[in-house]
Amino acid sequence: MEACCGLGPLRATVGCVSKEMACATPERHVWWDLYSPTEAADALVANWSWTSSSDSGAAAGATSICGPISLQQLAGRSPPPAEV
């Protein structure tokens, strides 16, 4: 898949030097330029981090990027009692 903005093979040899170089559909790309992911890619990673954990019973072969619990599970936990 080619980047949304850049020049060269896969639009990833020379970075985006002007907004006129940008593709018309950045939401359909993973990479904005040779360095930066698009908003769509960021949303995928954020959603994956929120719901994915090593103990979530994910399908075989699925990879977790958060563990041992997801960010969603972490957000729902109560803080430990304060020591006196």
pLDDT in tens, 12-64: 888 888 888 888 888 888 888 878 889 988 988 888 888 776 655 554 445 66
- Domain hosting residue 61, numbered range: 9-75
When divided into structural domains, the chain yields a total of 1
Nearest to 3 by CA among 39, 34, 40: 34
Q: Which residues pair with 7 in a beta bridge?
A: 14
The pTM of this model reads 0.57
Residue 46 lies in a domain: yes
The DSSP element (H or E) to which 40 belongs, if any, is: helix 39-51
In a domain, 27, yes or no: yes
